A = this chain, B = another copy of it.
Amino acid sequence: MPLRTKQNYIDSIKAMQTNIWAYGEKVNDIYAHPCFKPAVDAIGMVYALSGSEVKNEGYGLFTAHSPFTGDRVSRFLHIHQTQEDLKNRFQLSRNLVHKHGACIGARCVSTSVLNAVFTTTFDMDQSTCSDYHTRFLKFLGHVQENDLAVAGAMMDVKGDRSLSPHEQVDPDLYLHIVEKRPDGIVVRGAKASISGAAIAEEIVVVPCTALSADGQDYAVSFAIPSDAPGILHIAEAPAPNMRRLVGKEMDYGNARYGVHGSTHVIFDDVFIPHERVFMCGEYAHAAKLVNCFASLQRLNTTSCKAGHRDLLIGAAAVAADYNGVGSARHIREKLADLHHHSEIAFGCALASIYTGEKTASGVFTPNPLYVNIAKHKGVEAIWEGTYTAADIAGGLVCTLPTADDLAHETIGKVIDKYFKGKEGVSTEYRIRILRLIEYLTGQGSVVPIESTHGAGSPHTQKITIGQDLAKKIEKFKKDAKIMAGIKGEDI
């Protein structure tokens, strides 16, 4: 089966009846909206590149052989059969960021959520007589065969963070089952900041926290089209995005693809037919599903952020060239330090693959210790990168004039004269590269803050690392006691 084309994807998204709101207004034509078109184009570009691989190279980063369809499928929809699969998927994210510099959540997250639900439903069916895994395999075949864009929705809005789902004053602050019908279930709640939800064809929903028996109505997982009745999308509106309503291409830094494009997804009593329900009250399996998803998505995001840092290194190096100091030693050292700290995160993520393991269901998953260390360090390196790039590029990053200024008959000439850097470099290009740095450092995008929280805030990784030590500490203590010459009952 040939994979889908870019045009086919865009046509499909345009044809959907997705209910999206942005800046207080309904979005009727998503592909005409300045805050969604770049995100759609980024996904479109990924489809186009996948097509090229199919044409030219046989199996590679973009595609894999699915044992479930018996055919070539998108890497983003593939269930990781081997260590090599996981490594290819990992590398793919970094490579793609070099091209889009933004977010392709509508493809990226699907790998994590599909693999996590795959392995969890397998385990659930092993321990009970449920048929969740069978249902899921059917859904998986559907998206693989049609090469659909699939978003994953985990994060609830969460209300009072000191309370469990069932303890909230408003029970809807975590998504939950409000009714069980003969043919399916009805759910209510909201999933926050879901990357690519409005520009995907399907959304797979999972819980966002471990649950006890009190919270069994919150133990729910399912798949649903993005434009299903009762689903409402509210667009994110970070400060830099708002300028998309008034600015010009040159002002955006990353004009083609540079909008994150996530939405808050509200489920207003949405009906889910049984065949698309993958968890329905099995609270004891929620923690494992959350952890599996977290490990996989932290791996993806570590790769993605390495790509962002590569761009930042490149952009800062170009800015230094344009300023005439590209070969200055302190510039080169700062860039090498950033590369150093960038690669230690990427390297540690590679280690998580190298020491990964197969689950009972046959999914190859990363080592939780190393993937959590990698994600935590990767975010630190993003912030270090913003400081380094801002340092190298200079204060002009925050005081640039606009495309309209540069285009003006008289003012434009003044800008062209005085914002010039090194002889031979056009002023426009110098402004463009500084706009890209503005974008990458978060003043013109959401990169650092999104990096911090995407796939789990830093604290969540610290918890996992602490748990790992707890498992090893008695061994470490014993070794120390023996070495110190301590003998006794406790050794």
In whole angstroms, how far apart are the Cα atoms of A476 and B317 in the complex? 9
Confirm or deny: A260 has a beta carbon within 8 angstroms of a beta carbon on chain B: yes
Confirm or deny: A429 has a beta carbon within 8 angstroms of a beta carbon on chain B: yes
Confirm or deny: A14 has a beta carbon within 8 angstroms of a beta carbon on chain B: no
> Smallest distance from the beta carbon of A381 to chain B beta carbons, Å?
11
Asked if A418 and B311 make an inter-chain contact with CB atoms under 8 angstroms apart, the answer reads: no
Confirm or deny: A397 has a beta carbon within 8 angstroms of a beta carbon on chain B: yes
A476: chain B residues within 8 A (beta carbon): 310-311, 313-314, 317
Asked if A417 and B160 make an inter-chain contact with CB atoms under 8 angstroms apart, the answer reads: no
Number of chain copies forming the complex = 4
Q: Known: A433-B484, A433-B486. Contact between A234 and B161, CB under 8 A?
A: no
Asked if A242 and B238 make an inter-chain contact with CB atoms under 8 angstroms apart, the answer reads: no
In whole angstroms, how far apart are the Cα atoms of A237 and B374 in the complex? 36
Asked if A452 and B395 make an inter-chain contact with CB atoms under 8 angstroms apart, the answer reads: yes
Confirm or deny: A458 has a beta carbon within 8 angstroms of a beta carbon on chain B: yes
Confirm or deny: A459 has a beta carbon within 8 angstroms of a beta carbon on chain B: yes
Confirm or deny: A450 has a beta carbon within 8 angstroms of a beta carbon on chain B: yes
A246: chain B residues within 8 A (beta carbon): 242-243, 245-246
A239: chain B residues within 8 A (beta carbon): 239-240, 243, 251, 253, 438-439, 443-445
Confirm or deny: A377 has a beta carbon within 8 angstroms of a beta carbon on chain B: yes
> Smallest distance from the beta carbon of A294 to chain B beta carbons, Å?
14
> Which of B21, B347, B436 has a CB less than 8 Å from the CB of A347?
B347
Q: What residue of chain B has the Cβ atom nearest to residue A253's Cβ?
A: B484
Q: What residue of chain B has the Cβ atom nearest to residue A476's Cβ?
A: B314
Asked if B444 and A449 make an inter-chain contact with CB atoms under 8 angstroms apart, the answer reads: no
Q: What residue of chain B has the Cβ atom nearest to residue A453's Cβ?
A: B395
Confirm or deny: A315 has a beta carbon within 8 angstroms of a beta carbon on chain B: yes
A170: chain B residues within 8 A (beta carbon): 417, 420
In whole angstroms, how far apart are the Cα atoms of A5 and B352 in the complex? 37
Asked if B417 and A486 make an inter-chain contact with CB atoms under 8 angstroms apart, the answer reads: no
> Smallest distance from the beta carbon of A219 to chain B beta carbons, Å?
20
> Smallest distance from the beta carbon of A30 to chain B beta carbons, Å?
17
In the complex, per-residue mask of A189-216: 1 if CB is within 8 Å of any chain B CB, else 0: 0101100000000000000000000000
A310: chain B residues within 8 A (beta carbon): 472, 476, 479
In the complex, per-residue mask of A105-140: 1 if CB is within 8 Å of any chain B CB, else 0: 000000000000000000000000000000000000
Asked if A329 and B329 make an inter-chain contact with CB atoms under 8 angstroms apart, the answer reads: yes
Asked if B473 and A313 make an inter-chain contact with CB atoms under 8 angstroms apart, the answer reads: yes
Confirm or deny: A228 has a beta carbon within 8 angstroms of a beta carbon on chain B: no
Confirm or deny: A159 has a beta carbon within 8 angstroms of a beta carbon on chain B: yes
Confirm or deny: A462 has a beta carbon within 8 angstroms of a beta carbon on chain B: yes
Asked if A324 and B399 make an inter-chain contact with CB atoms under 8 angstroms apart, the answer reads: no
Asked if B441 and A449 make an inter-chain contact with CB atoms under 8 angstroms apart, the answer reads: yes
> Smallest distance from the beta carbon of A297 to chain B beta carbons, Å?
13
In whole angstroms, how far apart are the Cα atoms of A249 and B309 in the complex? 34
Confirm or deny: A454 has a beta carbon within 8 angstroms of a beta carbon on chain B: yes
In whole angstroms, how far apart are the Cα atoms of A357 and B362 in the complex? 28
Asked if A347 and B351 make an inter-chain contact with CB atoms under 8 angstroms apart, the answer reads: yes
In the complex, per-residue mask of A406-449: 1 if CB is within 8 Å of any chain B CB, else 0: 01100100110111111100000100110110110111111011
Asked if B242 and A407 make an inter-chain contact with CB atoms under 8 angstroms apart, the answer reads: no
A370: chain B residues within 8 A (beta carbon): 343, 347, 350
Q: Given A240-B240, A330-B459, 9 other A-B contacts at CB below 8 A?
A: A157-B418, A192-B396, A192-B399, A237-B402, A336-B465, A340-B376, A343-B465, A346-B351, A395-B452
Q: List 14 A-B contacts (CB under 8 A).
A: A24-B408, A24-B411, A25-B404, A161-B323, A264-B399, A314-B476, A315-B480, A336-B465, A347-B369, A348-B351, A398-B449, A429-B484, A433-B486, A436-B484
* 6 smallest beta-carbon distances between A and B, as pairs: A24-B404, A314-B476, A395-B453, A242-B243, A160-B324, A236-B399
